[in-house]
Structure formats: structure tokens, C-alpha cells
Amino acid sequence: MIPELGQIALIIALMLAGLQGILPLIGAHRGDSAMMQVARPAAVAQFGFVAVAFGILTTAFVTNDFTLEYVATNSNTALPVMFRVAAVWGAHEGSMLLWILILSIWTVAVAVGSKSLPEHVAARVIGVLGLLSVGTLAFTLFTSNPFLRLDLAPIDGRDLNPLLQDPALVIHPPMLYVGYVGLSVAFAFAIAAMLSGELDRQWARWTRPWTTAAWLFLTLGIALGSWWAYYELGWGGWWFWDPVENASFMPWLAATALFHSLAVTETRGLFKSWTLLLAIMAFSLSLLGTFLVRSGVLVSVHAFASDPTRGYFILGFLFVVITSALALYAWRAPSLDTQAGFEPTARETFLLLNNVLLVVAATLILIGTLYPLIIEHLGLGKVSVGPDVFELVFIIPMLPLTFLIGLGMHSSWRTGNLAAVWRRYRWIALGSVALAVVTPWVLYGKLMLMTVVGITAGIWVILASLVEPARAVFGKTRITRAQIGMHLAHLGVGLFTVGATVVSSFGLEADRAVRNGESLAISGYEFTFDGLSDGVGPNYTARRGAFTVTRDGREVAQLRPEKRSYTTQVSEMTEAGIHATLARDLFVAMGDDLGDGAWSVRVQYKPMIRLIWLGALIMAFGGLVAMTDARYRVAKRKAVATPVTAEA
Amino acid sequence: MRYAVPLIVFAILSVVLVVGIGKDPTRIPSPLLDQPVPQFSLRTLAQPEREVTDQDLRGEPALLNVWGSWCVNCSREHDFLTQVAQQMPVYGLNWNDEPDAARRWLARLGNPYRFSAHDVDGRVAIDLGVYGAPETFLLDGNGTIVFKHVGELNPDVWSRDFEPRIAQLRQ
């Protein structure tokens, strides 16, 4: 009976979303205050019913209610409770429900946090979010209902995919979804601006912190996913350019471009139509990511063939959302744009370049991701776009961008001061080149052109981001939170660049068969295999290897890689043994039992790989600092006293 | 006009996609249609000492189902395939799989196959033009391929694509 209540709650939520989507938009158009006032209560009530449905599905998982097909397919009585909860979003139907829940949470956040907005702006933003809820709720109810019952309930469930049974994967999807869905807020603001025909600097000031918030969750989500892939998939790589990863990375690139463009719109009132287009693009790409790629519709023709209604619904929804947004853009954007001059070396130019390069990167990755799918759908055979291609099309726009960061962040608005910036920072620039040549030479005894270029770019950005904060610390200049945030985020970019360059240039790996007592050496570290022991987990059995790592005869680490056999899903998982410091990771993964006491083993030495995730964390933290800048809070406080008029 | 460029680009992209999806990729005509099943000689999963060949598929209309224990959609279609096996012979081609894992899988989900030939090196799958599991071939009594379905077998596909052809074969 209770699961049926969950379904009823979803139906009520759908109706409330309809109210929330239609009445406020009509009200804002007509200037009817009563209709606009429906927005907030409808949004809050919709959230309530979605939360009830989500809670009921979660309860069904925790209590092993295998009468639900979705629970029976994705859980098991032996599954630990933490993973039973995570199994809620372990497959398509539950992920949809999570998506909807997060959308309604963002909507409530906007409803509560938008007290300072003029009524018609808030009504339109919440209305647009309501329409998005209508689409996703209808999709879930009609094609992906997680509350479907089985005629014959199995005694036990088929268990969660063992790949997903990992603490990082418990929080990775929600984090990523918060980011994906958060971009809907920027999208709703863009639509609201185009509907009302009002887009001023105040609008950018409202939109900016929401965009930054979504971006920071997206950053964390992507970093978590990359970290998980590194230690769980057993290959030791940290980015594979597969469609699912690209699906999260493209909206990230677009969102990064968006908040840089918003900076221009807020400060100078320029780039308006471009900002609108980026807001539409960022959200469209995140829809593409969640619906097309994650649902498997485009990745696997089989999934599509087994349930064509699902595929057509998704495509229809995407088509309606993107087409109506772009049509509105074609119609309204021309009247919103303002022209104003700026010199070719002003900060505006750097931000424009930033936008162009980021969009080029996102577009190339989009083409690389969709191309094989389109070719396949047209029946022209199978092609695949390899990681080398993606790396190349990524590095070509991104490397120049990294060099530009250091100059752009110190350039002034409107009039360029490139000569002054260069005078001030040339020693830092030369120092970065010197460090980039000397460091790899001393540490790794090797030099390659691309390595030097990459490390130079990274060190240049790191040093350039430290100058202003350092001056502020010594009281020579004042710095706002937004500026601190920007410098921090760029520091993260620099650390990431150094880490990615060093690990791809100097990382080493060896695959070897070892027997008890044998050892193998890599980059001065000696890994000795001390034998195997057996372990038992809640729903798996494990063979645990013991390795001692020594360097120059001294023990550095004990590593315990595992090979797990999951009982219900009959699949094997590799848990790598990793010893991490900032300077390097030592990584051991067990391969196959070769018989005769011999095991194939993969050993890796990964210098500075931690900087990749540390860099991402610092970027996200920079976003957090920037979005709490005083001007976003002051605007709110002032607004409570005197309602903000349209012009700032 | 330049503001309409994104809309136009998107419209073109959509048309391409819709045209592509309109063609159901699972119904690509296989060059093997109306051709005999390629010759093979393989061991079965259940009795590794027993050798089976393409000749063993002849006699009456039958299904040849390509599967693997690693294949998610294979377990999804398994119940339905088991029902079908009560109406006509179903043979398996176990592809790209560990024999032990495959046997465990059959023990767990039940075995609808008269036999499952273990395609050790994937040769037969290549000869058959398999590009993913599951795939199901409909054969007539002479071992000629009448129809090929890519992807999960389910009641819809069955009544749309298989039943009319089987009725014809049995006339």
C-alpha cells in the first residue's frame, strides 16, 4: 500500500508543478499579483510531495521491499544499509526521482532566497522551474515509474551493481545532480529576462551566485567521479573521456564560461546576449548529459530498442525545452544587447577569449561524443573517438587559456593595461619557465617540450594567483571576497595543470606476474608480494594481497589490494591498494590468479596525481568564497528595507 | 539574424538525429539474411567433451540466441526466452565468456537452451556478424537465417517480428 502512496504523491506533485509552471507566468505577463503569488507556495508544496515519494522509495530499499521491481533489480538483503540508500539512485528510475527531488530543492531555495527580487522576476523564474518539473515528473510517471510492483516478488533482490558499492559513489551522483540541476536556475533566470525584456546589471548580480553554486557542486561531483574511477576501476587512470564523463564535463565548461561572462554583464553591462546563450547552453548540455547519456538511450541501441517510448519522450522533452529557449532567444535577445567599447587589451577581451576557448572545447568534446552515436544511428557502422583525440582537442584551446588566466586576472576593465601588467609580472613569468625546466630535470631526470609548456602554464597561474592575496595579507592592497574566490579558483586551475602534466609525463606502470616473496621495482620503489589472505564482506568474498613497499631498503608503505567476488551479481571487483602523498601515489592492483601461486599485478607510480583533485577542491572552494561576497548579501539586506527597483 | 543562428544549428542537428532514430538500428538488414548459418564446430557448455556443429541446428524452425553471463540485457530477456523455449527449440551461442561464469549463470537463472555452444575465440560470432549481446537469429528447418533481432527479446518484438515469420515457416 505504501509504495502506491509514493506514486500518488508524485501525481499530486505533477499537478502542483503544473500550477507552479502556468499561473505565475500568466500572472507575470498580465501583471496579476494574485496569480504570481501562487509561485512560492506551489513550489514548496511540490517539494513536499516529491520528498514524500523519495522517502517512500528509500524506505522500500532500506526495508527490502522486493515487491517493487526497481528494488528487486537493484538491491539485496545482504547489501549494507548505506548502499541500500545509495541504490535508490543506482539505476535509471531512481536517478530520475533524485533529479526531480533536487530540482524541487533548488526551486525552494530560489523561492526562499528570492525575497529581494521584484515579484514578476521571482514569479517567472519559479514558473520556468515549474515547467521543467512538469516535464521530468511526467517522464518519470509515464515511462520510468520506480513504484511498479512485481506479480511475484522474489525472495531476494539481484543486488546493486558492485561497481557502485563504494562510499564515493554514494555521494558522487547526488553531488553531480545538484550541479546539473542547479544550472536550471541560471536557465530560468535567462528565460525570465527574455520574457520580461529586462536584462540589466542587477539581473547578472542575481544570477551569478546561483550559477557559481551549481558550478561548485558540478566541480566537486566531477572530481569525486574521477577519484573513484582512479581507485576503483583498477586501471589507475583518472579520466577516460567516456560519454558519461564527457556528459558531466561539457556543462562544466559551459558553466565556467557562463559565470565569466556574467562577470562582464554585472560589471560592465556587456555580453548580455552571449550570457543568455551560455545559460541556455549550459543547462541544455546538462539535460543532454542526464537524459541522453546517463539513461543509456544513445549509448546503447539496445536500451533504446527495448523501450522506445522512453527514448522518444526524452528526445521530445529535450527538443521542446531547447527549441523554445533558442526561439525565445532569437526573438528577444536582439533588443536586449547593449554595445559599448573596450580596448583590445582590457579585461573584457580576456573574458571574451576565455568564453570562446571554453565553448570551443565544449563543442569539440560534444562533437567527439555524439559523432559515433550519430554514425551508428544512421546505420553507417561503428566508429569510436579515442582518448588521444579528446586530449588533443582539449589541450589546443585549454593550454592558451591557462596562459591567459595570469594576464586576464590582473588586467583592468575598459582600458587595457597590458604593458603595466607585463612589467609587473614578467619576473614571475620568467620564473615559471625556469621552474618548469629545472623541477622535472631535478625530480625526474627527463625533459620534454610539452611537459615544460604544461608545467610553465601551471606554475605561472599558481604564482600569478598568489600575488594579489599576498599583497593583501601584507596590507598593501584591499581585496574583496569575490576577488579572493577568483584567485583561489585560479590557483586550483594551476595546481590541476601541474598535476595533470606531471602525472601524464612521468607516471610509470608495470604489469608483472609475481609469486609469494617475489618483488618488482618501479621508479626506485620495490614492491614485495608477501602473500594472500582471504576476507569476507557482507555480500562478497575477497582475496587480499599483502605488499611491502621499500625504497633504498627502508619500508615506505604496506599495501592491501583486494580482489572481491560479489556473490549475487557474480562479478569480480578490484580494490586497489594505494599509498598517497602530495608528491606521489604508489598503486597496486591485483589482476588474475595465474595458478601455481602466481598473480598478475599492476604496479603504478603516479607523481603529483593528488594535485589534480586538490586543484579541483580548491576551485570549488574558490567558488564558495566568491558567492558569499558582501555585495550579494548587502543587496539582499538593502532590499528588505527598500524594494529594489529595476535599475541598479 | 545572427541571434537565430543557434536555433538554426539546433534545428539541423535535431533533423539529423530524428532521421537517424527513425531508422530502427536494430533492424539493419543483415547481409547474412537468407544465407545458411556459417559453418562451425564448437564444444557445448554443459558437456565440454560434446562437439556440436551448424548441422545440429537443422530439423525444424529454431532460434539461435547469442548471450554472455556479463550481458545485462541477456538476463533481462531470459525469462521470456525460457517461455519461448517451450514452443520451439532455442540454441545458445555463449560468446566472449568464461565457461565457469556462464555455467553458474545458467544454474542461477535456468537453462532454456537445447545446448549452448561455447564460442571460445569469438570466431563464430564474427562470422555471424554479431555486434553485441543479446542477438537472436530465427532459422528455418534448413538452417537458413530468416531474421535477426539485435537487443533484448520481449513480447512486443516477438509478436511483431517473430510470430508472423514463424507461422509462415510452419505452413
Residues B4, A319: C-beta atoms closer than 8 Å: no
What nine digits make up the cell of A312?
Answer: 522518444
Among A179, A214, A185, which Cα is nearest to A124's? A185
Residue A306: pLDDT band with limits 50, 70, 90: very low
User: How many beta-carbon pairs under 8 angstroms link A with B?
Assistant: 77
CA distance linking residue A148 with residue A4, whole number of Å: 9
What pLDDT was estimated at residue A324? 95
Placement of cell 544549428 in the chain: B9
Q: Which residue of B has its CA nearest to A327?
A: B7
Q: How far is CA A162 from the centre of its chain?
A: 23
Average pLDDT of every residue of chain B: 83
List Cα–Cα distances, A486 to A49, A212, A492, in angstroms: 39, 11, 10
Among A568, A521, A524, which Cα is nearest to A87's? A568
Among A2, A142, A138, A164, which Cα is nearest to A68's? A2
Over the stretch A565-598, which tens digit does the pLDDT of each residue have? Answer: 887 776 778 888 899 999 999 999 888 788 777 8
Neighbours of B170 (CB within 10 A): 11
State the Rg of chain A over Cα. 26
Helix (H/G/I), strand (E/B), else coil: B51: strand
Count of CA atoms in the C-beta half-sphere (13 A) of A507: 20
What nine digits make up the cell of B80?
Answer: 521470456
Asked if A159 and A73 touch (Cβ cutoff 8 Å), the reply is: no
Neighbours of A415 (CB within 10 A): 11
Q: B-contacting residues of A 264-303, CB under 8 Å?
A: 273, 277, 280, 301-303
What pLDDT was estimated at residue A445? 84
* Closest CA–CA distance from residue B142 to any residue of chain A (Å): 29
Q: How far is CA A367 from the centre of its chain?
A: 19
Residue A84: pLDDT band with limits 50, 70, 90: very high
Determine which of B12, B21, B30 to mutate to test the interface with A (most A C-beta atoms within 10 Å).
B21
A598: buried, middle or exposed (CB in 10 Å: 19+, 13-18, 0-12)?
A: middle
Residue A642: pLDDT band with limits 50, 70, 90: very low
Answer whether residue A543 shows pLDDT above 50. yes
Asked if A323 and B10 touch (Cβ cutoff 8 Å), the reply is: yes
- CA-CA-CA-CA torsion for A288, A292, A294, A298, nearest 10 degrees? -140
Answer whether residue B26 shows pLDDT above 70. no
Residues of B in contact with A377 (CB under 8 A): 17, 20-21, 23, 25
The packing angle between helices A2-30 and A167-196, to 10°, is 30
First to last CA, chain B: 63
- Which residue type is seen at B137? F
Q: DSSP assignment of A596-627, as one string? A: TTEEEEEEEEEETTHHHHHHHHHHHHHHHHHH
Over the stretch A317-352, which tens digit does the pLDDT of each residue have? Answer: 988 999 999 999 999 998 888 777 788 889 999 999
Which residue in A326, A334, A382 is closest to B10 by CB distance?
A: A326
Pairing of strands B145-150, A508-514: unpaired
Exposure string over A38-72, b if 16+ CB within 10 A, otherwise e:
bbbebbbbbbebbbbbbebbbebbeebbbebbbbb
What pLDDT was estimated at residue A639? 45
List Cα–Cα distances, B20 to A385, A602, B15, B28, in angstroms: 19, 42, 8, 12
First to last CA, chain A: 54
- Which residue type is seen at A146? P
Using the Cβ of A378 and the Cβ atoms of chain B, whether some distance falls under 8 Å is answered with yes
Percent of chain A with pLDDT over 90: 56
Q: How far is CA A150 from the centre of its chain?
A: 35
- CA-CA-CA-CA torsion for A506, A507, A513, A514, nearest 10 degrees? 90
What pLDDT was estimated at residue A339? 77
The packing angle between helices A92-113 and A2-30, to 10°, is 40
Answer whether residue B21 shows pLDDT above 60. no
Asked if A107 and A177 touch (Cβ cutoff 8 Å), the reply is: no
Residues of B in contact with A323 (CB under 8 A): 7, 10-11, 14
Q: Which residue of A has its CA nearest to B100?
A: A570
Over the stretch A162-176, which tens digit does the pLDDT of each residue have? Answer: 777 888 778 888 999
Is the four-CA dihedral A320, A326, A329, A331 of positive or negative sign? Answer: negative
Asked if A588 and A191 touch (Cβ cutoff 8 Å), the reply is: no
What pLDDT was estimated at residue A376? 66
What pLDDT was estimated at residue A337? 82
Residues B150, A334: C-beta atoms closer than 8 Å: no
The packing angle between helices A347-377 and A272-287, to 10°, is 30
Q: B-contacting residues of A 599-628, CB under 8 Å?
A: none
What is the mean pLDDT of the segment spanning B65-89? 86
Q: How far is CA A516 from the centre of its chain?
A: 42
- Which residue type is seen at A476? K
What pLDDT was estimated at residue A452? 93
What pLDDT was estimated at residue A193? 95
Count of CA atoms in the C-beta half-sphere (13 A) of A594: 11
* Element at A328 (helix H, strand E): helix A308-336
Q: Which residue of B has its CA nearest to A323?
A: B7
Among A539, A532, A533, A602, which Cα is nearest to A565's? A539
CA distance linking residue A372 with residue A517, whole number of Å: 47
Residues B105, A570: C-beta atoms closer than 8 Å: yes
Helix (H/G/I), strand (E/B), else coil: A632: helix
List Cα–Cα distances, A502 to A402, A444, A450, A451, in angstroms: 16, 10, 10, 7
- Which residue type is seen at B130? V
Percent of chain B with pLDDT over 90: 13
Is the four-CA dihedral A88, A91, A94, A97 of positive or negative sign? Answer: positive
Helix (H/G/I), strand (E/B), else coil: A544: strand
Characterise A531 by phi-psi region: left (phi > 0), alpha (psi -120 to 50), beta (else). Answer: left
Helix (H/G/I), strand (E/B), else coil: A416: coil
Neighbours of A577 (CB within 10 A): 23
Which residues make Cβ contacts (< 8 Å) with residue A603, sequence separation at least 6?
Answer: A509, A510, A511, A512, A520, A522, A527, A586, A587, A588
What is the mean pLDDT of the segment spanning A530-543? 87
What is the mean pLDDT of the segment spanning A50-73? 93
CA distance linking residue A444 with residue A524, whole number of Å: 11
Percent of chain A with pLDDT over 70: 93
Which residues make Cβ contacts (< 8 Å) with residue A470, sequence separation at least 6?
Answer: none
Tell me, what's the ipTM? 0.78
A25: buried, middle or exposed (CB in 10 Å: 19+, 13-18, 0-12)?
A: buried
- What is the 3-state secondary structure of B89-156? CEEEEEECCCHHHHHHHHHHHCCCCCCEEEECCCHHHHHHCCCCCCEEEEECCCCEEEEEEECCCCHH
Residues of A in contact with B76 (CB under 8 A): 306
What nine digits make up the cell of A64?
Answer: 527490502
What pLDDT was estimated at residue B31? 67
- What is the 3-state secondary structure of B23-34? CCHHHCCCCCCC
Please tell me the least confidently modeled range out of A3-12, A50-59, B76-85.
B76-85
Characterise A460 by phi-psi region: left (phi > 0), alpha (psi -120 to 50), beta (else). Answer: alpha
Among A93, A85, A79, which Cα is nearest to A148's? A93
Report for A172-176, A356-360, B10-14, B138-142: range of highest mean pLDDT? A356-360
Q: Which residue of A has its CA nearest to B18?
A: A315
Residue B18: pLDDT band with limits 50, 70, 90: low
What is the mean pLDDT of the segment spanning A227-250? 83
Residues A570, B132: C-beta atoms closer than 8 Å: no
What nine digits make up the cell of A404?
Answer: 591567459
* Closest CA–CA distance from residue A377 to any residue of chain B (Å): 5
Using the Cβ of B170 and the Cβ atoms of chain A, whether some distance falls under 8 Å is answered with no
CA distance linking residue A189 with residue A204, whole number of Å: 9
Which residue in B19, B73, B108 is closest to A302 by CB distance?
A: B73
CA distance linking residue A458 with residue A645, whole number of Å: 44
Helix (H/G/I), strand (E/B), else coil: A549: strand
Q: A-contacting residues of B 96-155, CB under 8 Å?
A: 101, 104-105, 108, 131-132, 134, 150-152, 154
Residues A333, B25: C-beta atoms closer than 8 Å: no
Over the stretch A97-142, which tens digit does the pLDDT of each residue have? Answer: 999 999 999 999 999 988 888 999 999 999 999 999 999 999 999 9
Placement of cell 537469429 in the chain: B137
Using the Cβ of B156 and the Cβ atoms of chain A, whether some distance falls under 8 Å is answered with no
Residues of B in contact with A304 (CB under 8 A): 21, 25
Characterise A537 by phi-psi region: left (phi > 0), alpha (psi -120 to 50), beta (else). Answer: beta
